[in-house]
Structure 1
Amino acid sequence: MHLIRNTFKRVALGISGGVDSAVSALLLKKKGFDVTGVFMKNWDPLEESGNCSYNYDLEDAEWLCTKLEIPFKVVDFVKDYWNDVFVKFIDEYIQGFTPNPDVLCNKYIKFNKFFDYSINYLNCDAIATGHYANSSFGNFLEYYKSNSRVQLLKAKDVKKDQTFFLCQIPQLALQKTMFPVGNLMKSEVKQIAHENELHRIYKKRESVGICFIGSRNFKEFISEYVPKYSGRIIHIESGKQIGTHSGVHHWGVGQRFRIAGFPKRTYIAQKTAETQDVLVVSGHDHEALYIKGLETEPPHWICDIPESLQDGRNSVFTCDFRFQHTHPLLKCDLVKSSEQGLIINLEKPLSSVCAGQFIVFYKENECIGGAKIIRCGPSLFTLGETVTVL
């Protein structure tokens, strides 16, 4: 088959050993691109006392490239990942935040280090990944326009859409990124793998979670990197201490907190790193779990800054958002804060929002950007309001 455009011939594909990047490699080759499969080593297995899938994924990635007769390379980003993702991950947990390493990995590794490696070292014209996302330049950059800005668009498969994790993607990298499976349903991707006899990949269980945590539970993992603290568990309504814990980094807002001998189910409503106090409430629908607003760091706008938020203006910008990638989109109003961040008013009260998480913004089919939450507004309990939207 012929190339879609002569502009792009050589493509470096980030290949993980999974079915999405495998089918991406197959589609790229069938369209006539000169594809090189690149396996990114981001974590040193020697750091992993659990069951990291690194070696299995590496073998599967190499098997795929051999089967498709495309070059295979391994690039070591362990030091970069440690400094740009993992250290930040640990620091934010110590501060009582809830970070998202997947967003950071895309920002600093896949669409920064990998992009630079592919363009400047491998002399490729573009990169490709197995993300479920779309680009206004097309899945294979067939609508590419030089000196033009590109939009990040939702994937066809709503349940698998990964634009949430791409909310910090640099514009320059997105302009030269292909998403071969962005217009396919997951079922279609699996069917393509099956029809092309990629059974070793097709039958593989889909990986979930973060590799560097491995098979251990989170508390065991985080205890290896964060000093042990002790703190009080305080029931919000009574103001009384009802127990102790071993550090706020073990817990997230909205998480159930089992307390021996306590008659009711309790949930974390607030935590403070300075005092190590954890405040809990009874019941998952308690007003102390719900907020109506929050504040963020300066946002990253993928294509263009919304007109009402540009320099010299302080108008309200209304859009959709989510703070977890599986949550449905909701409405919010944005205004600039004095620190160039955003003050966000939510259309409906939301529960279990944590500082450190990313809030990601959408306008119709476009993911327009995102920002890290630095603080949440007062809860409905503090405001003396009741929960009317559950």
Structure 2
Amino acid sequence: MVASTVAWRRGDIFAGAVDPVVVVKGLLSLLALAIALVVVQTRGGHLRQLGTGTLWFLGIFMTVSAMGALTYGTLVTSAVLTFRLLVLGSTVFLLLRAAPALQVVGALVRSCAAIALLAAMTGVVMAGQEPRLEGGIPPAHPNELALLSSVVVVWVVARVVVERATWLEALTAVVLLGVVWATGSRTALIMLVVAVLAMTVLVRRPRAGLVVGTQCILAVGIIVVYWTGAIVSFGERAPDKGSTLESRFIAWSAARTWAESAWQAVFGGGLSVKLIPVKGQWWDQQLLDSTWVSALVQAGVLGLLVAVVWAIWVLRGVVRAPREHRVLFLGLFVFLVGRSLLESGLFDATPAFLLFVAVSVTVEGGSRSSLTDPSTPRTAAPA
């Protein structure tokens, strides 16, 4: 699933054309769904009880967007993207029925780690004159590479908080934290710090080793940052067109008035709308850089309202989850939703969508009982 949701080409936006890359990624998604169906069949009567609220939110959001695409002229292209989301969301749901939540989320995170390491290593080898690290194979955008790396760091920090993480996991997290820095993704780094702080708030009685280790890491980090001036250079990295906050504001302002009819304002233009026309600039179109602005354009005011209620509903479930799950899910929620304010993709065929759906399904009321089921294998112990 993760391999089918990362970028295989640089700067490519799906516009409805069928080519080998689109076909192969689609087949990978269907293969993942088929494997999930087989797993569910082999589990027989040992399936976990899950709620269906997440599927309702996803279905309503996509239905609203499809109604907008019907009149905007993007129905066919948006239908393809809608089908992909249905396949990915269904696959995550089936896997969560067949296996413990931490096992499924852990598999997603390990897949992100494997792809991030491969992309980073090949990106270093194939690096050109770009100041920011980007993927080689697959050719992930710096922001996408930062996303893949950051979720691994969140996972490892959560394991440190609730149990003893292995040295291999800790080393992997350190390496991928360096990858996040090399990508120059300021949004990912800031939200990663916020997510880690949110998780540490849940620590009741921190172990001595955790306290000492954290202090040592902070001390070394402060020394390195002071002597190298890394923070200054990171914050002042050369901006490119469409990547600065000022350019985002231009697109966001245009998104408020892009609709030419009341129907489009309410239902949007379909999931395939990725570019927003801008006026008064030396460029005519700009890529939407916010999940929530994208939701406004793709699914209208009604779709945006559904997405906001969905996110609030997930946060409510995270707060009510058992503590050993709450630490991880709070970190993932804070990072994914916080990042989505300035980056798009939370409601698209991306790794962020896979993780968000996994958390959403797991923490809803109809699913939380399976987290405390004595028959559910425990992979983490309370701190």
Q: Structure 2 length normalisation: TM-score?
A: 0.28
- More strand per residue: 1
- More helix per residue: 2
Greater relative contact order (Cα < 8 A, sep 6+): 2
Larger radius of gyration: 1
Q: Structure 1 length normalisation: TM-score?
A: 0.28
